[in-house]
């Protein structure tokens, strides 16, 4: 592994243990600024990935993340945020981590080295040719991720490798590779740092841009959110009020008439129709609010 960029010593942090606390913070902040630039270099690959993911989900497929350690945790985190943010069913975006749920909070020794367990985990989720699998491995060589990607390709699922090393082993088992090369870590080999940040940024873009393509937003409003707590309920009211041009009191009343459904409330208000008619318009518009507001009644 000595040839991997993520394993190289960082010349900038060679004497980090002799620095003041402020100097350590400044050094790390300076290194983190490089992450966004590395992700920017992969914009074309990320955009291609989004188009594939959106088209497969629209056709009934799913997005699955697979990884070990920090990579797996970040995948599970991104997947778990989709239902409350975009009101997606939990099976639409799935995060899988080597070692199972326990590995989310504890290191499971050797889990990342078991390529066969990735196949078992994917079979348990019934991975099929309609799906997209993103295998996440900062090093680009993790057997668990590679085993999963090879299995995905054998089924005809679209296999995307996400790594922070160029020309890695992921290239041999992926239909598309996203590789933001962030350089050596401040603490050599600690890929929870810049590599982890780059991974989180890419995953944020993959799901957010996919949901925009699927009509889960209106402008930059999250009109498909699931209001499961006080904060989100208040946000729902603000969204309906802003888009429908209502007072917050009227928006709250409209939401009550529409079972708390933000899109339905907006269509019902702006088109002056009952909730059932609004839902039918949204159905005809394939869930896209902008289109539903333009369709003839």
Enumerate residues 6+ apart whose C-beta is below 8 A from 65: 72, 75, 76, 78, 79, 93, 94, 95, 96, 133, 134, 136, 203
Distance CA 27, CA 12 (A): 8
DSSP code, position 67: E
**Helix 230-244, helix 248-257: angle, nearest 10:** 110
Q: What is the DSSP code string of 203-229?
A: HHHHHHHHHHHTT--BTTB-TT----S
CA neighbor of 26 nearest in space, from 36, 40, 12, 38:
12
- Decide if 52 contacts 44 (C-beta within 8 A): no
- Decide if 266 contacts 260 (C-beta within 8 A): no
Q: Looking at 31, 112, 185, 261, which residue is catalytic? A: 112
- As beta bridge partners, residue 65 has 95, 134
Quick one: tokens of 282?
């949204």
Q: Looking at 7, 23, 31, 81, which residue is catalytic? A: 81
81 is catalytic: yes
Enumerate residues 6+ apart whose C-beta is below 8 A from 293: 266, 267, 270, 271
CB-side exposure of 32: number of CA atoms within 13 Å? 12
- Decide if 267 contacts 295 (C-beta within 8 A): no
The residues annotated with a catalytic role in the active site are 81, 112
């Amino acid at each position: 592994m000595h040839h991997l960029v993520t394993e190289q010593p960082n010349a900038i942090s060679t004497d980090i243990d002799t620095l003041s606390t402020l100097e350590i913070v400044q050094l790390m902040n300076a290194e983190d600024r490089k992450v966004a630039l590395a992700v920017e270099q992969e914009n074309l690959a990320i955009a291609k990935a989004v188009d594939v993911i959106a088209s497969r989900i629209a056709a009934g497929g799913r997005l699955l993340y697979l990884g070990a350690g920090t990579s797996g945790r970040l995948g599970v985190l991104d997947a778990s945020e989709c239902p409350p943010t975009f009101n997606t069913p939990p099976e639409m975006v799935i995060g899988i981590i080597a070692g199972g749920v326990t590995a989310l909070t504890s290191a499971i020794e050797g889990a990342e080295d078991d390529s066969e367990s990735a196949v078992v985990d994917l079979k348990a989720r019934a991975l099929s040719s309609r799906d997209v699998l993103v295998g996440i491995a900062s090093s680009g060589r993790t057997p668990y991720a590679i085993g999963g990607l090879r299995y995905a390709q054998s089924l005809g699922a679209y296999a995307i490798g996400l790594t922070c090393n160029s020309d890695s082993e992921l290239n041999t088992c992926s239909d598309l590779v996203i590789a933001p090369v962030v350089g050596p870590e401040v603490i050599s080999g600690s890929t929870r740092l810049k590599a982890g940040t780059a991974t989180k940024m890419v995953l944020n873009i993959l799901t957010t841009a996919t949901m925009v393509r699927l009509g889960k937003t209106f402008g930059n409003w999250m009109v498909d959110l699931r209001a499961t707590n006080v904060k989100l309920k208040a946000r729902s009211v603000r969204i309906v009020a802003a888009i429908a041009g209502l007072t917050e009191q009227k928006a709250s009343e409209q939401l009550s008439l529409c079972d708390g459904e933000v899109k339905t409330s907006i269509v019902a208000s702006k088109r002056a129709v009952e909730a059932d008619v609004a839902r039918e318009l949204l159905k005809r518009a394939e869930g896209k609010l902008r289109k539903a507001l333009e369709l003839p009644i």
